Amino acid sequence: MKKSILLLTLLSLLYLSCDLTPAGTYHYRAPDPGADGLPTGSLSEVAIDTSPIIRAVNRIYSGRYQGMHSMLIFKDNKLVLEEYFPGHKWQWEAPAHHGEWIQWDADQLHNIHSAAKSVTSACIGIAIDRGIIQSEDQSIWQYLPDHQHLKKDGKEGITIRHLLTMTSGLYWPEWSAPYSSGENPAVGIYFSEKDPITFILEMPLVAAPGSQFNYSTGNVILLGEIIRNASGMPMEAFSGKYLFQPLGIEQFEWSLKLKNEVDGNTLEITARDMIKIGATFLNGGLWQGRRIISEDWVKKSATTFPGIYPINVPGEPSGKMGYSYTWWTKDYKHSGQTVHLYAASGFGGQHIMVLPELNTVVAFTGGNYLTRRPPFKLLEKYILPAIRAVPT
């Protein structure tokens, strides 16, 4: 009887493992060309050593780096690595926010959480480029006509730039409560009876605008409202017309909307489309020769904002980081030269990492909502060492 139970257990484990690549057996294969306009190539074509990359993928499969859903590398204008792993879909009310277990692939939309903030920022840049918004130095109150009664108590001085750099000065204790709790204002706003813009602007001013960093989803919700009032289009329509359609991104969803249909923080796109966004920034705002975003806006997005001191990001083993126009920034040493990174980053391990000196974009998706997130470790331990020195 005991032998039968043991045999059944072993057979069950063998059956369950059939959907996974066994540890130590991964063999690199260049990405398949898709119909989405993303050019592909091989690691060797762009002088990336395959050995560290193979080790990284094997260690993901072995469970050393858990919760990874995808890892993609784009270098020298080619997608040269595209790997997907099994994992949980995002579900807010589920334990650890883990919903349905699926095999992630190139066609699955993934919630990129706060990496969407950088998409909203890009839309602000596009609106400025097109003259829809005059400048990021404008007062937010020029685009909030229904909330002028809240323009008081020192809040008169808040500009669009302050929202972009998380320096509005408005009270918003987002990093003080879990994202499963209504005590977190980024969650509580969805359950409030107030309209969301009032919910945000009624918060007390606790620092002079521009003087202090405080991470705030509320700031980006205000940016979405500014886009809507300036353009007459909600974020979904504006981003679709001016960003996603020019990039050939056909499937996307701003999946969690507030009462006023504004959000700017809960975008679902594919990992390949994350690469397209990163590639556009890598190439100075151009996608396949077409101007999408001004080079000036890309530079501002890549440059650490003065006065924002290095910050430890909760749950990220990335070390201290800077901040720009909703992009996180960090410098590395690589083959004797300084390599600058700026990244759109989201809860659970969603990242679009742009490395201009290496002509590289790396994208990750994951489900590490309550656990340590591997992407920066994978970047630092395997991906950067695999990229051969670029001539200076």
pLDDT at 15: 35
Amino acid sitting at position 112? I
Which two structure tokens, joined as six digits, stand for 391?
A: 């001539």
- What top-level class would CATH report for the domain 109-269? alpha beta
User: Residue 196 contacts by C-beta under 8 Å, 6 or more apart in sequence?
Assistant: 189, 221, 258, 259, 260, 262
pLDDT at 299: 98
Q: Is there a contact between 201 and 219 (Cβ–Cβ < 8 Å)?
A: no
Eight-class DSSP state of 175: G
Q: Over the range 130-162, which residues count as b (16 or more CB within 10 Å of their CB) and which as e?
A: eebbeebebebbebbeebeebeeeebebbbbbb
pLDDT at 86: 97
pLDDT at 300: 97
The CA R_g of the chain, rounded to the nearest whole Å, is 22
**Helix (H/G/I), strand (E/B), else coil: 327:** coil
Residue among 72, 65, 48 nearest 351 (CA): 72
The residue ranges of every structural domain in the chain are: 21-82+274-392, 109-269
27-59, pLDDT tens digit by residue? Answer: 999 999 988 989 999 999 999 999 999 999 999
pLDDT at 3: 45
- Residue 388's CB: how many other CB atoms inside 10 A? 12
pLDDT at 303: 97
**Helix (H/G/I), strand (E/B), else coil: 87:** strand
CA atoms within 13 A on the CB side of 244: 23
Eight-class DSSP state of 362: E
Q: Which residues of the chain have pLDDT under 50?
A: 1-20, 391-392
* pTM, two decimal places: 0.92
Residue among 379, 300, 306, 315 nearest 349 (CA): 315
Eight-class DSSP state of 147: G
Q: Is there a contact between 387 and 103 (Cβ–Cβ < 8 Å)?
A: no
Distance CA 53, CA 70 (A): 13
Which two structure tokens, joined as six digits, stand for 32?
A: 């398949």
Contacts within 8 Å (CB) and 24+ apart, 196-200: 196/221, 196/258, 196/259, 196/260, 196/262, 197/144, 197/146, 197/147, 197/221, 197/222, 197/225, 197/260, 197/262, 198/147, 198/150, 200/170, 200/172
pLDDT at 128: 98
Q: Which residue has the tokens 């990093």?
A: 175
Residue among 379, 267, 383, 361 nearest 321 (CA): 379
pLDDT at 1: 45
The strand pair at 86-90 and 322-323 is best described as unpaired
